[in-house]
Every structure is written in C-alpha cells, then in structure tokens.
Structure 1
C-alpha cells in the first residue's frame, strides 16, 4: 500500500536490509509490534514496505520532523528490536534519512 503523506516537506527514513532467514516467527512478531508502536509515536506519518529476492527488504517510514525521527530511534522497545535485529534477523542493513522536498503521484 502507498502511504498517504501530507504536502512536502516532511522526512523519510529508508531502511534497507537483508533478512537472514533465521527466527522467522519472532521476526514477524517483532516487525508487527514495531509498526504498531510507530503509529503511536508523535510525528509518525506512515510507512511503505517491500520484499524482494535474496531476503532484500526496504521499508520507508515518513515523519513530520527530524526530532520525531530521533525520538523513534531512542524509544526503548525500538532499541531492543534494533539489538535483536543485529543479533538474529539481519545479515546487513543501511539506514538513510532524507528530507522530502517534493512529492507527487498518480492514482487511477
């Protein structure tokens, strides 16, 4: 599903990862819990996620501000999930933070 976002500017966190294939049930449970938690965070606007071959996953979350992103990064349950991700879920990941200056699209 394509996230509905406000008029730019706003912020995006792009999380690109390679899923290790280990602990699938725990991973699914943790991912669902993090989505639920993110929705409770001030400044959270929405997210999009896709999975590809070889365990590639890309999740883009949208935020009102850099401060909101920092608060998410420091949230205790999210910190625990990050740690577990490094231990068991991912073989690699990259996080990119970007300011969205312009956004446009099409819907039939």
Structure 2
C-alpha cells in the first residue's frame, strides 16, 4: 500500500476551490482506486493523505487532465506553497484490532 501526503500553505480558496476538491476526491475513488482520503486544515496549513493500492494508481491520478487543471489553479492562488510525498506503507495497526 502507498500513501500520497499533500502538505500546503493555504492561499486564496474560494467556492470553485471547494467544488474542485470534491471533484478530485470523487475522481480519486471512482476512476483511480483510491482506498481512503483524509484532509485536515488548521490555520493556514492543510494536509491531505490519500491511500492507494499501488504507485501506478497515484501516477495515473496525478496525470489526469482534470487533476492537472486543478494543480494549475493551486499554483495560481489556492496555495502559496505545497509539497507532495509518496510513501510506501510498511506496517499498519489499529485499535481496536479487526477481528
């Protein structure tokens, strides 16, 4: 399993931003097999973590035409800075444990 970690400093986020975020989440799940997607904003910082079965799925989602357009809007004002990390999950556990 892999995770894409998106960390950003928020810029000017408007209604179009909120609509685009919803669409990107929809695309990730429906077209590219995203397993889970969590996003949190605190102050001017945002972090989103998405989980994927393989790295190729992340790559294809990243290269999607709608996602490419959203990235451009992000660079043009929705974010003042961001970084993305792609990591391979080596171990996972939880409480309470699954049966």
TM-score, length-scaled by structure 1:
0.84
1:68 CA displacement: 0.6
**Alignment correspondent of 2:45:** 56
Cα distance in structure 2, aligned partners of 1:34 and 1:63: 15
Give the distance between the partners of 2:23 and 2:80, measured in 1 at CA. Answer: 21
Alignment of 1:3-82 (within 5 A): 10-20=1-11, 22-53=12-43, 55-82=44-71
List gaps (5 residues or longer) in structure 1.
1-9
Structure 1 ranges of 4+ moved more than 6 A = none
In structure 1, C-alpha distance between the alignment counterparts of 2:73 and 2:53, rounded to whole Å: 27
The 3-state SS of whatever aligns with 2:94 is coil
Across the aligned residues of Structure 1 and Structure 2, the Cα RMSD in angstroms comes to 1.4
Cα distance between partner residues in 2 of 1:83 and 1:12: 22
Q: Secondary structure at the match of 1:81?
A: helix
1:23 to partner: Cα distance:
4.0
Structure 2 stretches lacking a partner, 5+ long: none
